[in-house]
Chains A and B, each alone.
Chain A
Amino acid sequence: MTTKNPAPRSRPTLIRRNLQLAIVPAAAVVGGFLVGGVIILISSLANGALDFGLPFNAYGSLFQGAFGSLRGILFTIVSATPLILGGMAVGLGFKAGLFNIGAQGQFLMGALGAAAVGAYVAGAPAIVAIPAAILAGALFGASWGFIPGALKAWTGAHEVVTTIMLNFIAGALIGYLITGPLEAPGFSFSRTGALGNAELPTLFGTSIHLGVFIAFFLVPVVWWILWRSTLGFEIRTVGANPDAARYAGMHPALITILTMSLCGLLAGLAGAGQILGISHFMNASYGTSIGFDSISVALLGRAHPVGIMLAALLFGALRAGSGLMQIQAGIPVEIIDVIQAMVLLFLAADVMLRRFLRVRGPSIEPDELATVSKTYGSGTI
């Protein structure tokens, strides 16, 4: 049975394999929308009677809002941008066997760093101010990833609980800094100062800012690191089997810290992009759900950078179109969260979905995700 000449995997099978990979996520998305539709239908009872047109109405305006105009499409892309980075911040963690629920806090810290440093260098030439502000966001985010990484590596505290606590602490820290030391004078409410030259340039006056390009550029970069570099091999080995990694001469503790820091860096970049490219300042009660949406994006994208990009575009479209849906069909934007949860539910019930769809062939790398909770009870790495 020993093969003498293993041909590199040929192109058609590669495409087929990838299509097979996509069947379950695609089915999960369809299922999510179906359940969302049923919920919308039931909600129509609030107006008296079942309105079978309402789900179509709602999804129609959702689609129109996301793709119906150039502005809508651009808005979809801009909305997807932080989700791509955040999704990779969670997905990269999965590869190392880490569940980074802290993308939210890392995002906020990145936004804070960019807002603070951006305001500080507002007067400098753009060529200095922009990189400085972006770098500050990345580093602030990385530091917020470093903490749970180091806690896990050195004390064995599981990242799921520590990152969630750090999300709350980030919120409190921002509240303090922006109402205190970082508060800019001359505004009617507490906020950071104007960004001046640190604001990101946009493409032909559209909403497409520099951060969009950075996010899409980082997709192949992260892919390359994971599958073409020795660092990526180390990350994946630590994620799949930390004991074997130690045996192979790797340092699981260091890789854990490094990976969490990189996750934080990616999420921090997402935060920096939102501040420098869109909102242009940060207030004390800056709220967002991007960090949590990133988890959904990473799961739907199967922790693969390309999958994450596609999932981010989908969820970006939902966010972009939901405003129009609320106005036209009167459906609260929160339905998007419900649809997301249902998509995840179908995704988690992978085995059942396969049986239902009669998808055969290898279950695609199930262990890569399923390793996360096995470490919950164990101490240090």
Chain B
Amino acid sequence: MSETGLPAVRAPSLEMRGVTKRYPGVLANDGIDFEVKPGEIHALLGENGAGKSTLMNILYGLAEPDEGEILMDGHPVTIHSPADAIARGISMVHQHFMLVPVLSVAENILLGDEPMANPVFLDRRAAHARIRELGTNFGFDIDPDAKVGSLSVGWQQRVEILKALYRNASILVLDEPTAVLTPQETREIFAVLRQLSSELGTSIVFISHKLYEVLDIADRITVIRRGKVVGERIPAETNEDDLAQLMVGREVQLTANRGESKPTDVMLVADGVRVADDRGREVVHGVTFEVRAGEIFGIAGVAGNGQDELVETITGLRKTTAGRVTLNGRDITAATPRDLHEQGVGFVPADRHRFGLVLTFPITDNIVLTDYHAEPYSRGLVRNDDAIRARAQECVTEFDVRTPSITVNAGTLSGGNQQKVVVARELDRELKLLVLDQPTRGLDVGSIEFIHGRMIESRNAGTAVLLISAELDEVLELSDRIGVMYRGELVAVVDARGADKEDIGLLMATGGRISPEATRVMSAELEQVS
């Protein structure tokens, strides 16, 4: 028995040998060898699209490998479905949580492995007791009856980990678990992971593309690039530059060279803006800020703190319930997306599949998506195909979109190239204001560098840039000034020079006030440290 009151698990050694997986046009895994020793924390490091998730999906039975085998304790095993994986003690916390929002915490945890009162009905009491016990042992004081959809992302992640504990997992795979967390929440999760590995003997596979995190948590690091293992390292014997070069295959500048900003006139002003979400609840409570021409104003915040609604309001997709927004002195509070477009506002939305692109349309149509009605792309009601094609060709060349032709559907492009289509459409014109919401989520390093470079160019050309990102690193790297959103309020605005990551993280997590919830979180953290 360990301090957690849970029985130690006996993790088998795990080995994946020569794993190859082909998708149409992509070799996702190319003869990968990967080994996890019992009880170690093993990081799988690679860029977006390098094949990390594919490899782990194969381990978890979500994808079938074309070649290769999986061995546990030296014996080959076949894993055709998640059920097989679970039966072998493997659990996985996915990047996009696999939780059913309308079900309760308890229902989510026991789903698939339900305690039964009799052959038909569930034994709710037994389930709740076990979940409470697990929760208390790890310092998560969680209500089993709470609806998962009403929990913050940090708590949803704890539910995911409880799911694995509930199943007595001996091998736990976490796919980019920190992408949505604050630095403080990340530390808490790391503490739990260390506890699992050292006290219970759980093996942990930690997928990430963040170098410093990997160096912090892992016992061993395997780096993969374009579907191949390119190196294995021990944290003590490597550093960020070495890992970055392995991961990308060339020297990378770890921070964008953003240079000096020369802010001039105030361009965008939000004054006491209040916004309601789709269900009519107010989620932005009187936000006030300004963005000057020639500066990048970054908004940091944990996802779901009202940033999405604020951006949708500024870009005309959502109505304000109170407050005023002005652009260059003109009131744009009630402006439509088209008004804003015509006044020189560019907008790169967070979800390019939902807002930014029509995936079933060719690149040509997507390039003129916001301009299709204007000269020269149409005359009156009639579309001008020649002008549309010429424009698309120009953008594809200028923004280095890799595509066989401008008539292929946007859906067939890679994520990076899709985003370049959106960026080309929104940036390649006279702009007063540029709004970018999570502009590099899920992209490879090359595309990220390209888009960051373009953003800085825009700023230097005198555009006011508003950047929203849940990736605190991205905000810190690019912004000239930083605002922090917490529960629908802008709790602080700081100058990026000398801004401290920890301070901003704490603002993101608590809003700068010590709320009852925050004290609970912190005391839980203290307990684990002691």
Q: Which chain A residues have a beta carbon within 8 Å of chain B's beta carbons?
A: 1-4, 6, 9, 228-231, 233, 236-237, 240-241, 243-244, 246-249, 365, 367-368
Distance in Å: Cβ of B445 to nearest Cβ of chain A: 19
- Scan residues 361-393 of chain B and give those whose CB is less than 8 A from a CB of chain A: 361, 365, 369-370, 372-373, 378, 381-383, 389, 393
Closest to B363 in A: A6
From known contacts A2-B401, A230-B372, A247-B349, infer whether A241 and B358 are also in contact, taking CB-CB under 8 Å.
Answer: yes
**Quick one: which of B62-80 are within 8 Å of A by CB?**
none
B397 / chain A contacts, CB cutoff of 8 Å: 2, 4
- Which of B13-21, B403-411, B508-516 contacts its partner? B403-411
A-B contact pairs, 30 of them (CB 8 A): A1-B402, A2-B402, A3-B404, A3-B406, A6-B389, A9-B407, A228-B383, A229-B383, A230-B373, A230-B381, A233-B365, A237-B358, A237-B361, A240-B359, A240-B361, A241-B357, A241-B358, A241-B360, A243-B355, A244-B354, A244-B355, A244-B356, A246-B355, A247-B337, A247-B356, A247-B369, A247-B370, A248-B372, A249-B336, A249-B341
User: Is the beta-carbon distance between A6 and B405 smaller than 8 angstroms?
Assistant: yes
Chain B residues with CB under 8 A of A243: 354-355
Check: B400 CB closer than 8 A to any chain A CB: yes
**Is A249 a contact of B338 with CB atoms below 8 Å?**
yes
What residue of chain B has the Cβ atom nearest to residue A245's Cβ? Answer: B358
A-B contact count, CB below 8 Å? 81
CB-CB under 8 A from B407, the residues of chain A are 6, 9
Closest to B370 in A: A248
A242 CB to closest chain B CB, in angstroms? 10
Per the bound structure, the CA–CA distance linking A236 and B409 in Å amounts to 14
Residues of A within 8 A of B347 (CB): 247
Please tell me if the beta carbons of A230 and B378 are within 8 angstroms of each other in the complex: yes
User: A365, B360: Cβ atoms under 8 Å?
Assistant: yes
In the complex, are the beta carbons of A229 and B358 less than 8 A apart? Answer: no
A240 to B360, CA, bound (A): 7
A256 to B402, CA, bound (A): 35
Whether B383 pairs with A1 at a CB distance below 8 angstroms is no
Known pairs A2-B401, A243-B354. 9 more at Cβ < 8 A? A1-B402, A3-B403, A3-B406, A229-B382, A231-B381, A240-B359, A247-B317, A247-B349, A248-B369
Q: What CA separation (Å) do A9 and B364 show in the bound complex?
A: 14
Which residues of chain A come closer than 8 Å to B109, judged between CB atoms? none
- Whether the Cβ atoms of A237 and B381 lie closer than 8 Å is no
Binding site for A on B (CB under 8 A): 317, 336-338, 341, 347, 349, 354-361, 365, 369-370, 372-373, 378, 381-383, 389, 393, 396-397, 400-407
Q: How far is the CA of A240 from the CA of B393 in the complex (A)?
A: 23
List residues of chain B with CB within 8 A of the CB of A3.
403-406
CA distance in complex: A236, B360 (Å) = 10
Given A1-B403, A2-B402, A3-B404, decide whether A244 and B357 contact each other with a Cβ distance below 8 A.
yes
User: Chain A residues with Cβ under 8 A from B365's Cβ?
Assistant: 233
Contact B381 A244 (CB under 8 A): no
Partner of B358, one of A230, A231, A244, A365: A244
Q: Are B400 and A2 in contact (CB under 8 A)?
A: yes
Given the complex, which residues of A lie within 8 Å of B403, measured CB to CB?
Answer: 1-3
Report yes or no: B360 in contact with A1, Cβ–Cβ below 8 A. Answer: no
Q: How far is the CA of A306 from the CA of B3 in the complex (A)?
A: 73
B439 to chain A: closest CB distance in Å? 15
Interface of B (DSSP majority class) = loop
Nearest B-chain residue to A366, judged by Cβ: B360
Cα separation A231 to B405 with both chains bound (whole Å): 26
A228 and B382 in contact (CB under 8 A), knowing A244-B357, A248-B369, A248-B372?
yes
Most-contacted residue by chain B among A230, A246, A365 (CB, 10 A): A230
Q: Is the pair A249, B382 in contact by a Cβ cutoff of 8 Å?
A: no
Interface centre among B383, B400, B402 (most CB of A within 10 A): B383
From residue B343, how far is it (CB to closest CB) to chain A in Å? 12
Partner pick for A6 among B370, B381, B406, CB 8 A cutoff:
B406
**Of B336, B357, B358, B401, which is in contact with the most chain A CB atoms at under 10 Å from its CB?**
B358
Residues of chain B with a CB closer than 8 A to A6's CB: 389, 393, 405-407
Contact partner of A247 among B355, B373, B382, CB < 8 A? Answer: B355
What's the least CB distance linking B362 to chain A, in Å?
11
Asked if residues B396 and A233 are in contact (CB atoms below 8 Å), the reply is no
Closest A residue to B411 by beta carbon equals A367
Question: Which of B383, B389, B402, B405 lies in contact with A233, CB distance below 8 A?
Answer: B383
Give the distance to chain A from B198, nearest Cβ to Cβ, in Å: 46
**Contact partner, A229, options B337, B381, B401, B405, Cβ 8 Å:** B381
Which residues of chain A come closer than 8 Å to B402, judged between CB atoms? 1-2
A249 touches B370 (CB 8 A): yes
CB distance from A245 to the nearest CB of B (A): 8
Residues in B whose Cβ lies below 8 Å from that of A229: 381-383
Residues of B with C-beta under 8 A to A9: 407
Complex CA gap A365/B389 in Å reads 21
B380 nearest CB neighbor, chain A only = A230
Assembly CA distance A240 to B341 (angstroms): 22
Residues on A with C-beta less than 8 A from B381 are 229-231
Taken together as a complex, chains A and B put the C-alpha atoms of A29 and B373 apart, in Å, by: 40
* Contact in complex: A230, B396 (CB < 8 Å): no
With contact pairs A247-B349, A247-B356, A249-B336 given, residues A237 and B383 touching in the complex (Cβ less than 8 Å): no
- Bound-complex Cα distance A367 to B405 (A): 21
- Which residues from chain A contact B360 at a C-beta distance below 8 Å? 240-241, 365, 367-368
A333 to B400, CA, bound (A): 61
Find out whether the CB atom of A233 lies under 8 angstroms from the CB atom of B372: yes
Which residues on A sit within 8 Å (CB–CB) of B372?
230, 233, 248
A248 touches B357 (CB 8 A): no
Chain B neighbourhood of A4, CB < 8 A: 397
Please give me the 8 A-B residue pairs with the lowest Cβ-Cβ distance, nearest first. A249-B338, A247-B355, A249-B337, A248-B369, A241-B358, A367-B360, A240-B358, A229-B381
Instruction: Report the nearest A residue to B339, measured CB to CB.
Output: A249
> Do B317 and A246 have beta carbons less than 8 Å apart?
yes
Asked if A237 and B337 sit within 8 Å, CB to CB, the answer is no
**A236 surroundings in chain B (CB, below 8 A):** 361
- What residues of chain A lie closer than 8 Å to B354, measured between beta carbons? 241, 243-244
**How far is B341's CA from A367's CA once the two chains are assembled, in angstroms?**
29
- Chain B residues with Cβ under 8 A from A231's Cβ? 381
Residues of B within 8 A of A248 (CB): 337, 369-370, 372
Find chain B residues with CB under 8 A from A240 CB: 358-361
Cβ 8 A contact of A241, one of B338, B359, B393:
B359
Which A residues touch B338, using CB under 8 A? 249
Are A244 and B369 closer than 8 Å at their CB atoms? yes
Q: How far is the CA of A367 from the CA of B359 in the complex (A)?
A: 10
Residues of A within 8 A of B378 (CB): 230
**Bound Cα distance from A148 to B456, whole angstroms:** 48
Which of A231, A249, A365 lies at the interface centre, i.e. has the most chain B CB atoms within 10 A of its CB?
A: A249
The docked-state distance in angstroms from the alpha carbon of A241 to that of B365 is: 13
Alpha-carbon distance between A198 and B360 when the two chains are bound, in angstroms: 46
Please give, as numbers and ranges, the residues of chain A lying within 8 Å of B357 by CB-CB distance: 241, 244
- Looking across the interface, which residue of chain B has its beta carbon closest to that of A229? B381
